[in-house]
Amino acid sequence: MSANIYWTPGAVERNSIHTSTPQAFMRVLKVLNWELGDKLDESFLPSLRALAEVCHESERKAYKQLIDAIERHKEIRVWAEY
């Protein structure tokens, strides 16, 4: 089953995360004790930066999108729509 993963700093807008493997991406975030619908804040930045460094190049953009969003907004909510 394919999913689109989104993030938003609030109810204002939503932005899609570009990943070719959304299920795997969500599983990796779950290892960080994160669940869909939860918020990601600056405490996740070290882990997300490490993942961006070691992941396959095709997935690096997805992590960098989250990193950039957290740096800009301090806290974002992430969810998936099927």
Residue 18 — pLDDT band, cuts 50, 70, 90?
confident
Name the token pair of 10.
């609030």
Stretch 13-19: mean pLDDT, rounded? Answer: 79
pTM of the model: 0.77
Which amino acid type is present at position 49?
R
Residue carrying the six token digits 């992941």: 55
DSSP H or E run through 82: none
Residue 14's identity, in one-letter code, is R
Residue among 2, 31, 15, 21 nearest 60 (CA): 21
Mean pLDDT of 18-29: 84
- Give residue 78's pLDDT: 85
Task: Give CA separation, 72 vs 1, 3, 16, 61, in Å.
Answer: 31, 25, 16, 16
